[in-house]
Structure 1
Amino acid sequence: MNLHLIAIFFTIFICYSYDFLWRKALQKSKFSDERKSLITEYFKVILQLSVINILLLCGQYIGIFYMENGWIDYMLINVCFIPFLLIYYTLIRIDFSDRNYQTQKWALEKLKADRSEAELKFLKSQYHPHFLFNALNTIYFQIDDNNDEAKKSIEILSDLLRYQLYDIEKDVTLEQEITYLRAYITFQKMRMSQRLKLDIYFDPLLKEQKIHPLLFQPIIENAFKYVGGEYKIKIQLKLENSRIVFTVENTVSSMRQKEHPSTTGIGLSNLVKRLHLLYSGNYDFKYEQVDDLFFVKLILNTI
């Protein structure tokens, strides 16, 4: 009776142990459809099941198991017990695979919906730049010819709007993007205090590499918006080991130092969403505030 009870509890323990182990493994599995990968997976499962024989041998040696018919009992256990566990593994694998498929299908549908929504927002946003672009042309010709500074500001702003209108739907070269960024920085400087200290560096190696447009502009805009204290802004765009590295540092006011970095507004949040859609798995973006310095770093892998 004792030996039978021990065998029953051992069987229950083994079954629940394998169930727990396999479910944990399947939760992390990518469910590859490749035949070679599937064979390797089942080979590992069979190896795991072979542990039962080791436990049986150890149990018989210490006296808690009794194999009356010797190797025949081992054969019966392997022929009956192990195939049932393999069938069980197949059933839970099918269940996890189906859940994974449904999750991926839902994620794909959501991604399509998000992109459709983004395209709709973009089309709506075009009305405003077109209106401003035409309005600026009208204002430009109404300004007195002697007011060169105002005319220069309108020219720069027109170039910025033209870039946003006609180049945003396709990839651009980094040379084009840098030209835009220089114009944008020049325009921002016009409305800033004379005490602003600006340090800018664009790597001359960055020319023909392709990139999605307007990824750096929100970061620069954020720096100009929140700069304070010593009024310092440092902007660098470099090529490092086939990666595009963009960093921006700006000092902040004493009042701004007390705020959490997440209060930078929707600009950086929207940028993260764009990066996830355009460079999923191929970018690294982080920002932090330490005392009076706010730091942003964006790394893009060239693909």
Structure 2
Amino acid sequence: MEKIKSILFSNKVLHLAFWVLSFYAVGSYFSISSEIKIIDFIYSAFFHVPLLVLVYLNLNYHVPKFLLKERYIVYLLLSAFNIAFAYFLHELVFEILIPIMPTDFYMVSFTDMDVLLTIFAIYWAVTTLLRLSKSWYQLQHLEKEKLALELNSLKMQINPHFLFNSLNSMYSLARKKSDKTPDAILRLSNLMRYMIYEVSEDVSLAKEIESINDYLDLQRLRINDDAKITFETIGEMENRMVAPLLFFPLVENSFKHGLKGEKGENYVKISLNNNKKNLLFHILNNKGQVDDMEESKYGGIGLENVRKRIKLIYGDRATMQVNETKEQFEVSIEIKW
């Protein structure tokens, strides 16, 4: 089925279909009787000579070399020349070429100049729009592929330091024969399973919340007890779907770059509010003292990944705001349902 679909929508088949339809339409339009005769198709064939030159000069040279490179003035000037050249070629075919051909029929161009130029302009405009729509489709396809690659990469980007610290904390709990050990192992297992296997499509908000809670609990194993970590959720979560791992990089960044203040001053505050109109996500954490290298890269790939994903997936229905000071870092996301 996919092979048949690829053949039907291949460039050669689409071009052939376009010209067959055009050939028939021109023959019908210029037919001098109620029935289409052989002479009408012969006329249509000669009429298409300048059309072919006009269209493929535009598609293969003018559009990619000038229009797609945003050289609009040059493109418009060349397009005007292209249409004028098509008119000259039309006159050449019907006034010079056809009369010297050894045929039994006599054929002249009985179309006014303004009508001819209008027809050529229509073919130029239609083929340009088709070419632009194809470029737009290809761009969207590439963006979706890039998004899929970024998501797969994100799924596999479980911070090595996080894994190491979590396992080290579990080892410490195990040595102490703490009752928290089984729960910590289970949460890490759930988080890894979710990241690797369960995020190929949209997931429920409840699943996202569960993964964030597992991450927070694992982080609590390694940070000081005086750090204030809160995660507040408001509204119905089960029946709403959201792009997977959309908020996770922001939560990870808050622990990677934040919580560096004095004892008793560290905090990560997260809230998720879902209502009938929109979804509001907010995260705030303190920064404390960071070196110049870390400060210049705050947010890093994760922040940009989230920004690109919400733009591509939700378009104008989503906004993302980032506020940063020397003391704290804040991110807010709104998604309109």
TM-score range, shorter chain: 0.5 to 0.7
Number of the residue aligned with 1:222: 253
Number of the residue aligned with 1:107: 139
Q: Tell me, what secondary structure is at the counterpart of 1:279? A: helix
**Separation in 1 of the partners of 2:210 and 2:144?**
33
Number of the residue aligned with 1:185: 216
TM-superposed CA distance for 1:214, in Å, is 1.7
1:269 and 2:304 matched: yes
Counting only pairs closer than 5 Å after superposition, residues 23-34 of structure 1 correspond to structure 2 as none
Number of the residue aligned with 1:279: 314
**Separation in 2 of the partners of 1:154 and 1:197?**
23
**Separation in 2 of the partners of 1:260 and 1:96?**
47
Identity of aligned residues (%): 25
1:203 and 2:234 matched: yes
Does the CA contact (< 8 Å) of 2:271 and 2:281 recur in 1?
yes
TM-superposed CA distance for 1:277, in Å, is 4.1
- 1:148 paired residue among 176, 179, 182: 179
Give CA-to-partner distance per residue, 1:232-289, whole Å, 9 cap, x none.
2211100255211100011112336997665322222222333344333432123220
Of residues 222-231 and 92-101 in structure 1, the stretch that sits farther from structure 2 once superposed is 92-101
Number of the residue aligned with 1:246: 281
- 1:174 paired residue among 205, 224, 241: 205
TM-superposed CA distance for 1:166, in Å, is 3.5
**Separation in 2 of the partners of 1:176 and 1:116?**
20
Number of the residue aligned with 1:213: 244
Normalising by structure 2, what TM-score? 0.52
Counting only pairs closer than 5 Å after superposition, residues 127-166 of structure 1 correspond to structure 2 as 143=174, 146-166=177-197
| 5+ long unaligned stretches in structure 2 | 1-69, 71-111
**Separation in 2 of the partners of 1:222 and 1:120?**
19
Does the CA contact (< 8 Å) of 1:261 and 1:288 recur in 2?
no
Give the AA of the match of 1:168: V
TM-superposed CA distance for 1:144, in Å, is 6.0
Give CA-to-partner distance per residue, 1:162-192, whole Å, 9 cap, x none.
2223421233222232222222211112111
Q: Tell me, what secondary structure is at the counterpart of 1:178? A: helix
Counting only pairs closer than 5 Å after superposition, residues 5-154 of structure 1 correspond to structure 2 as 90=122, 93-94=125-126, 96-111=128-143, 113-114=145-146, 117-118=149-150, 121=153, 125=156, 143=174, 146-154=177-185
**Separation in 1 of the partners of 2:218 and 2:148?**
32
Does the CA contact (< 8 Å) of 1:257 and 1:291 recur in 2?
no
Does the CA contact (< 8 Å) of 1:171 and 1:213 recur in 2?
yes
TM-superposed CA distance for 1:294, in Å, is 0.6
Does the CA contact (< 8 Å) of 1:250 and 1:294 recur in 2?
yes
Normalising by structure 1, what TM-score? 0.57
Q: Tell me, what secondary structure is at the counterpart of 1:286? A: strand
Number of the residue aligned with 2:53: none
Does the CA contact (< 8 Å) of 2:233 and 2:271 recur in 1?
yes
Number of the residue aligned with 1:57: none
Question: Over aligned residue pairs, what C-alpha RMSD do you find?
Answer: 4.0
| 5+ long unaligned stretches in structure 1 | 1-26, 28-79
Matched residues, number: 216
